[in-house]
Each structure stands twice: as C-alpha cells, then as structure tokens.
Amino acid sequence: MSSTTLEKLQSRFNPEAAKGMNEVFQFHFSDAGSHYLDIQDGTLGVHEGEHDDPSVSLSMST
C-alpha cells in the first residue's frame, strides 16, 4: 500500500461507525507487500507486515 492510500484510509475512517468493532483486515498486495488495518472500538491502526490472527485476509494482484 502506498503512503497515499494509507493516508486516504485514515482520513476517511469513521470512528463513530466503528464503535464496538474489533476486527483486523489483512491485505496482501503482489507489488506492495503486506499491511493490515486494526480496528478496535472506534480506533484505527494501520500497520505494515502480517498480523498473527486477522479476522479477514485479502490477496490482490496489482
């Protein structure tokens, strides 16, 4: 994921809509490596690498 994509995700995140949500979304990109979004009760963490136990895992060829 490019830094621009990460910035867009963070700027569009709606903490109110994510209240009570506790999920990890793992992304595997063919040309940009692995990243994950960690949503915990209205907060968003964006991380490079792989999470040990994601809720959802998506692999994409880009």
Domains of the chain by start residue, with CATH: 3-60 (3.30.1050.10)
The predicted structure's pLDDT at residue 33: 86
Residue 37, CA distances (Å) to 32, 52 in order? 15, 13
pLDDT at 1 over 70: no
* Other beta carbons within 10 Å of 39: 17
Dump pLDDT digits (tens) for 6-62. 778 889 999 999 999 999 999 998 888 899 999 999 999 999 999 999 999 999 887
What phi and psi, each to the nearest 5 degrees, are found at residue 43? -115, 150
**CA-to-CA distance for 23 and 53, rounded, in angstroms?**
10
